[in-house]
Amino acid sequence: MCAQSDSPVLVADAGSSSLRLTVFGEDGTVLAEHHSDSPPGDDVSGPLRHVLDDAPAPTAVGHRIVHGGPRRRGHTLVDDEVRADLDEAADLAPLHVPPALTVLDAARELLPDVPHVACFDTVFHADMPAAARTYAVPAAWREEYGLRRYGFHGLSYAWALDRAAALLGRRPEQLHLVIVHLGGGCSACAVREGYSVDTTMGFTPLEGLVMSRRSGSVDPGALTWLQTRHHLSARDIEHALNRESGLLGLSGTSGDTRDLVRDRAAGDERAALALEVFTHHCRRGIAGMAASLDRVDALVFTGEIGEDQPEVREEVCARLPALGLTGDLRPLVAERPEIVSKPGSRVPVIVVPTGEAQQVARETRALVAPRG
């Protein structure tokens, strides 16, 4: 079943706290959209029907799925076998995959005669070197349980890579980049000659940088200590690390950097600490990714915070002189890919607006396009 190259593509991006449905034309034009700041529920068919009523009938549907699990190393057409595999991946990203599967099931029922494509954030990192994907844990955990580092935000990284390369006038395979996705979830990635060679997120989207409500990396010994000494259950710990930590846990008021920048200016010490911890971990993540490259041709920011929070970009870059970065960046809110560092900077700093939905549309068209 093939989608014509000039046919609309519906992209579904469902997460733990939002639902975005967008119909794209071939040139990337948005033909219809629905955005909600709440996760999809049993009534998800309503928003789907609303979007479909406002746009030409799609001939393919692309679904952003955060985790592909151990079996799915490439974007794929969804059939019953693939759908069954995704239930296993749901255990690995419990905040993200179940809402996406709710939308996938509803869309397949509503549009049974068009191809549905699962586009996975983990695919971009599928060929990371063994040293970057392997945990130093007992062999049984790795071989029998499949414990390994997967990495996430791959659709965002793929989009940002191509946009940054075009801005620099070079091909992706010529570049060594550090890309940082800062949003509700946060991670950094080392891209060598077009491929991910390291990233800060691991087995789940909880590892790595401090995030809006997620803790990022915490000493595993501290977690076992909480279980054995203070009798917290695994479920309590998992909930706290995913929902009550990060910027929200540090500030006690908000997981939104816009609120925290404002509160810090008003003298809120907890907001100041939250931002200091956040940017400190960003710098550590960027420096760690640089260690997997021969050089850093550019630092690329994307994600909602990365594109519209100039104070964060400035505080990250101004304190990384060891990597050739400097402050005094242009304090813009990016509407298109732009270089925000000074002309002639040793390491250009680039801001790329988030393009995960556009990348899903791109991958979906590539997978269902006629081959001749």
Q: Give me the active site residues, please.
A: 121
- What span, in angstroms and rounded, lies between the C-alpha atoms of 252 and 274? 9
Residue 314 host element (H or E): helix 310-317
Q: CB pairs under 8 A, 24+ apart, for 143-150?
A: 146/70, 147/203, 148/203, 149/199, 149/201, 149/202, 149/203, 149/207, 150/67, 150/68, 150/92, 150/122, 150/125, 150/201, 150/202, 150/203
Distance, in Å, from the CA atom of 357 to the CA atom of 63, rounded to the nearest integer, reads 9
Strand partners, 35: 20
Quick check: 194 and 162 in contact, CB under 8 A? no
Helix (H, G, I), strand (E, B) or coil at 300: strand
Cβ neighbours of residue 109 under 8 Å, at least 6 residues apart? 45
CA gap 275, 254 in Å, rounded: 11
Q: Helix 310-317 crosses helix 257-265 at what angle (to 10 degrees)? A: 80
Name the pairing type of β-strands 298-302 and 349-351: parallel
Q: Rounded distance, CA 250 to CA 263, Å?
A: 13
For tokens 């260690």, name the residue: 291
- Single out the residue of 144, 152, 264 nearest to residue 202, CA to CA: 152
- For residue 18, give Cα distances in angstroms to 31, 109, 153, 244, 313: 20, 21, 16, 18, 25
Contact 223, 185 (CB under 8 A): no
Asked if residues 57 and 8 have their Cβ atoms less than 8 Å apart, the reply is yes
